[in-house]
Every structure is written in structure tokens, then in C-alpha cells.
Amino acid sequence: MHTHSPLAAGFILHFGEMGSRWGVNRTVGQIYALLFISNRPMHADEIAETLGMSRSNVGLGLKELQSWKLTRLQHLPGDRRDYYSAPQDVWEIFRTLVEERRQREVEPTLTLLRDSLQQEVSSDIDRAAQQRMHEMYTMMQLLMDWLTDIQKLSPATLKRLLRLGGKVAKLLDFVDRMGDGKKEAAPPADATDKP
């Protein structure tokens, strides 16, 4: 790696290692990290030289990042080369990653579960399997509905929500207690029938 900063080199190497844990190869992780911390767009030859990678590996990595919508292709005046940059807004990156993961991983699973739940089954084993699939589908769909609502929030509102942390549970407990109090204060359904 030909980056002159130990700080940058550490970040890039770490992202390469994390990339393999996130389902992309090391090269893709390192290219993304370099573009993320770069203060300007970079062309493929410059990325290859900086990271000490072959130009073909960089080209494949950039295509992968474009398919994830994590890089932007642009052109600079007077230069015919393609330049790449990463989105700078971390909230936009988060939303992009969540949406791409949803489309690539969650939606196919939900489709399989929906199809499986619509099948007629006749054995106890299949009924038990279908029941477990129903539980999984219900949980995943609930999470996806919640995530859809969360993604509609502005970054400022999302930050406020995240800062609440465990206070959200306390708020829900309070709301539940208030609801229980209203139920206790209301007369029984048959109380109005009595003289």
C-alpha cells in the first residue's frame, strides 16, 4: 500500500478485513475505505497504485461497489478517465446498505417463506415446519415494516431516536402502564346493564 499515512493505512486494512466478514472480498473493502476517506475523486489507476493492487482487481472492485450503489462515477473537465468517489454522508451510506441488503438477502427469503406458507401440507412434520416458517416470516416482516418507517426519518430525527437507546423501553413501559390504568378505571362491559 502506497498511502503515506499510518492512520489511513490502518483504516483501509481494517475495512479490507471487515469486508470479508460482510460478504465482500478484501479488495472491495479496501477500495471503499480509500474512497470514503479520500478528500477528492480518484481514478482507477490511482486507486490501484495507492493500494498496490492490479488494475483489473480495482476495476472488478469498483463494479461491485457500483452495484451496491456505494460509489459515484464522475468525470472531471479535460480528463477522459472515470473518477470515483464514495458518498460522504454516513446516514446516506447506512440507508443504501440497508436497502441493498434488504433487496439482496431479506426479500428473497420473505418470498420463499410466503410461497412456502401458501402450500397445502398434509403431514404433521410439514405443518410443524410451516408453523416455524410462519413465525420467522412474521418476525422478518415486522422488522422490515419497522425499517421502512425508520428509513423515512430525517437524519436528525434518526439521531434523536438512536440517542434514546434504552429510554425507548422505559417509554413503552410507561405507555403500557397508562393503558392498564385506563382499563382499570373503565367500568366493566356489563356494568351499564345493571340497575
What does each of the 195 residues of the chain score in pLDDT, given as a tens digit? 666 689 999 999 999 999 888 888 999 999 999 999 999 999 999 999 999 999 999 999 999 999 999 999 999 999 999 999 999 899 889 889 889 989 999 999 999 999 999 999 999 999 999 999 999 999 999 999 999 998 899 989 988 888 888 888 888 888 888 876 554 444 444 444 433
Q: Is 165 exposed, middle or buried (0-12, 13-18, 19+ CB in 10 A)?
A: exposed
Element spanning 45, H or E:
helix 44-51
Question: For residue 184, what pLDDT is reported?
Answer: 45
CATH of 6-85, one of 1.10.10.10, 3.40.50.300, 3.30.1370.140, 1.10.1280.10: 1.10.10.10
Question: For residue 140, what pLDDT is reported?
Answer: 96
Which of 34, 18, 36 is closest to 26 using CA atoms? 18
Q: How many CB atoms lie within 10 A of CB 146?
A: 10
Query: Which grid cell sits at 143?
Result: 422488522
DSSP-derived secondary structure for 81-96: S-EEE----HHHHHHH
**Nearest-5° angle of CA 129, CA 135, CA 141?**
130
Q: Where are the alpha helices (DSSP H) in 152-166?
A: 155-164
Sign of CA dihedral 64, 68, 62, 27: negative
Which of 38, 28, 33, 1 is closest to 14 using CA atoms? 33
Q: What is the pTM of this model?
A: 0.73
Question: For residue 21, what pLDDT is reported?
Answer: 86
Domain boundaries, the chain: 6-85, 90-156
Which of 116, 100, 114, 96 is closest to 36 using CA atoms? 96
Question: For residue 182, what pLDDT is reported?
Answer: 54
Q: Is 83:44 a contact under the CB 8 Å cutoff?
A: no
Angstrom distance (rounded) from CA 38 to CA 35: 5
